A = this chain, B = another copy of it.
Amino acid sequence: MPAEVLQEAASEMLDWHGSGMSVMEMSHRGKEFMSIRDQAEADLRELLAIPEHFKVLFMQGGGLAENAIVPLNLSRGAAADFVVTGSWSKKSAAEAQKYCRVHEAASNTSDNHTCLPDPGHWQLNSDAQYVHICGNETINGVEFHELPDLKSLGSDAPLVVDFSSHVASRPVDWSRVGLAFGGAQKNLGPAGLTLVVVREDLLGRSMSVCPSAFDYATVATHQSMYNTPPTYAIYVAGLTFQWLKRQGGVAEMERRNVAKAALLYGFIDGSDFYVNKVAKDCRSRMNVPFFLRDETRNDAFLTGAKARGLLQLKGHKSVGGMRASIYNAMPMEGVQALVDYMRDFEHSQA
């Protein structure tokens, strides 16, 4: 997280704006917290250019809970289409089977999750109440750089995007989206806050077994105050939104993220020592999995990295190799330090 945001939170911990209260002590229905919530929503709407006919919901449970909450709200117990592109979309599809028929409209499984299936070849089903994609697969390093235009594919179903791991890293084309959801912990703030941005006409379709606290229509009617919201997490996310605006907003974040990713992928592609296996047109700007061609050197690579303060580079156990996560808060200097180390390590092994 940005140091500026943490400093601001620390300095206001005992007394928010002269109120004599910590944000943690505020009644969530009091005017102080309402102003924090309203400002956070306004800033998020501005940052992501969210149109008026979408509701912004502050919820709890993270992306994994939304894997159930989305079909509870949208599937009508009928069916939904899933595009499987990696670990997260696979999990989402598995959870949805509790509530509706799940069609695998497309999958990159036979390509070992290293490319995106061409939307032109997706098998969209007429009974599907929505089409689910994961915008960015953190484990496999695959990202949609353009959202599919379902209308042009002959479908009227709303597109549901899990944007947990790349929200606020790039603009969103809301004209193609019905609902987007994501845990806030990757790019937007602390764990414990889930964002849901949903087109108004999709409210009111929930199944009878949907818990009231997770019924989008109920949450929207109560301005995310039906149950006590995660007040402090909303506050810190709000500080992060303001930081993002000071940085130049999401367009500037995208510019930086493009440059960071270009540096790292460019180095890997120019090397015979490292390799990234993902097709170039769908490589993630957030999560860069890579492998040493000689995997017997993996331990030495990680040990040397740690000695330079480069942490959390081990790939997910389901994939192996290495993975660099370069979310919004990672500066270009951090990516440069990684590339410098990778070059030095390669030379040290010659």
> Which of B9, B13, B98, B192 sits near A230, CB closer than 8 Å?
B192
**When the two chains form their complex, are residues A227 and B22 in contact, meaning their CB atoms are under 8 A apart?**
no
Chain B residues near A98 (CB-CB < 8 A): 208-209, 211
A170-195 contact mask (Cβ, 8 Å, vs B): 1 or 0: 00000000000001010001111100
User: Is A6 in the interface zone, CB < 8 Å from B?
Assistant: yes
Chain B residues near A99 (CB-CB < 8 A): 209
User: Is A69 in the interface zone, CB < 8 Å from B?
Assistant: yes
Question: How far is it, in angstroms, between the C-alpha of A99 and the C-alpha of B213 when the chains are bound?
Answer: 15
User: Is A232 in the interface zone, CB < 8 Å from B?
Assistant: yes
**When the two chains form their complex, are residues B192 and A60 in contact, meaning their CB atoms are under 8 A apart?**
yes
> Which of B72, B189, B232 sits near A191, CB closer than 8 Å?
B232
**When the two chains form their complex, are residues B61 and A212 in contact, meaning their CB atoms are under 8 A apart?**
no
Question: How far is it, in angstroms, between the C-alpha of A229 and the C-alpha of B60 when the chains are bound?
Answer: 10
Task: Determine the residue in chain B with the shortest Cβ distance to A27.
Answer: B312
Question: How far is it, in angstroms, between the C-alpha of A193 and the C-alpha of B233 when the chains are bound?
Answer: 11
**When the two chains form their complex, are residues A95 and B9 in contact, meaning their CB atoms are under 8 A apart?**
no
User: Is A169 in the interface zone, CB < 8 Å from B?
Assistant: no
Interface residues of A in 104-138 (CB under 8 A from B): none
Chain B residues near A69 (CB-CB < 8 A): 211
Question: How far is it, in angstroms, between the C-alpha of A226 and the C-alpha of B25 when the chains are bound?
Answer: 28
**When the two chains form their complex, are residues A190 and B232 in contact, meaning their CB atoms are under 8 A apart?**
yes
**When the two chains form their complex, are residues A13 and B13 in contact, meaning their CB atoms are under 8 A apart?**
yes
**When the two chains form their complex, are residues B232 and A192 in contact, meaning their CB atoms are under 8 A apart?**
yes
Q: How large is the interface on A (under 10, 10 to 19, 20 to 34, 35 or more residues)?
A: 35 or more
User: Is A319 in the interface zone, CB < 8 Å from B?
Assistant: no
User: Is A34 in the interface zone, CB < 8 Å from B?
Assistant: no
Given contacts A1-B22, A27-B312, contact A226 B13 (CB under 8 A): no
User: Is A271 in the interface zone, CB < 8 Å from B?
Assistant: no
Chain B residues near A64 (CB-CB < 8 A): 212-213, 226-228
> Which of B10, B27, B192 sits near A13, CB closer than 8 Å?
B10
**When the two chains form their complex, are residues A190 and B95 in contact, meaning their CB atoms are under 8 A apart?**
no
Given contacts A208-B98, A213-B62, A230-B233, contact A10 B14 (CB under 8 A): yes
Question: How far is it, in angstroms, between the C-alpha of A60 and the C-alpha of B24 when the chains are bound?
Answer: 16
Chain B residues near A10 (CB-CB < 8 A): 10-11, 13-14
**When the two chains form their complex, are residues B25 and A192 in contact, meaning their CB atoms are under 8 A apart?**
no
Shortest CB distance A2–B (Å): 10
User: Is A42 in the interface zone, CB < 8 Å from B?
Assistant: no
Question: How far is it, in angstroms, between the C-alpha of A67 and the C-alpha of B213 when the chains are bound?
Answer: 9
Name the residue in A63, A208, A214 with the highest tally of chain B Cβ atoms < 10 Å from its Cβ: A214
**When the two chains form their complex, are residues A228 and B13 in contact, meaning their CB atoms are under 8 A apart?**
no
Chain B residues near A161 (CB-CB < 8 A): none
The 7 closest A-B pairs by CB, nearest first: A192-B230, A68-B211, A10-B13, A64-B227, A60-B60, A65-B213, A24-B190
Q: A1-B24, A68-B211, A98-B211 are in contact. List 14 more A-B contacts (CB 8 A).
A: A1-B25, A7-B14, A9-B13, A24-B190, A61-B211, A61-B214, A68-B213, A190-B232, A191-B229, A191-B230, A192-B228, A209-B209, A230-B230, A232-B236
